[in-house]
Amino acid sequence: MDVRVYPGPDQVCSILSEWLTLVETRYQEGGFPNHLHFQIVGRDAMAIRTSIAKSSYLGRRLWGEPHLTTPCPVHLGRWSGLLAPNANACGCGGVGWLR
């Protein structure tokens, strides 16, 4: 029986970073002349890498938290920053969604 072993969150982040580096390097070397989507990824790799690193949602999902669907009555489903005043008082921790 073939059993698949799926990568953990740390490995997924590492794999995504490695892939972005490969695409970015190839783009800088003039690669992807016929693949507009890879040209865009290569050009914007740093912005994508930063967005991934800063994404509270992506981090929560990678670590196994469910997709949250109940908006916080205070923050109304909007991320309010790590140091949001009273972020923990409402129960959302500043992410805008109740757990």
User: How far apart (Å, rounded) are the C-alpha atoms in residues 43 and 60?
Assistant: 27
Provide the pLDDT for residue 9: 80
pLDDT of residue 86: 61
User: Over the stretch 15-72, which tens digit does the pLDDT of each residue have?
Assistant: 888 988 998 898 888 888 888 888 888 889 888 888 887 787 888 888 788 899 999 8
Give the pLDDT confidence score for residue 69 in this predicted structure: 92
Number of domains in the chain: 2
Integer angstrom CA distances of residue 59 from 3, 13, 49: 26, 9, 13
Predicted confidence (pLDDT) per residue in 75-98, tens digit = 888 877 666 566 667 878 778 888
Q: What residues make up the domain containing 15?
A: 1-65
Residues 7 and 26 in one domain: yes
Same domain assignment for residues 51 and 96 = no
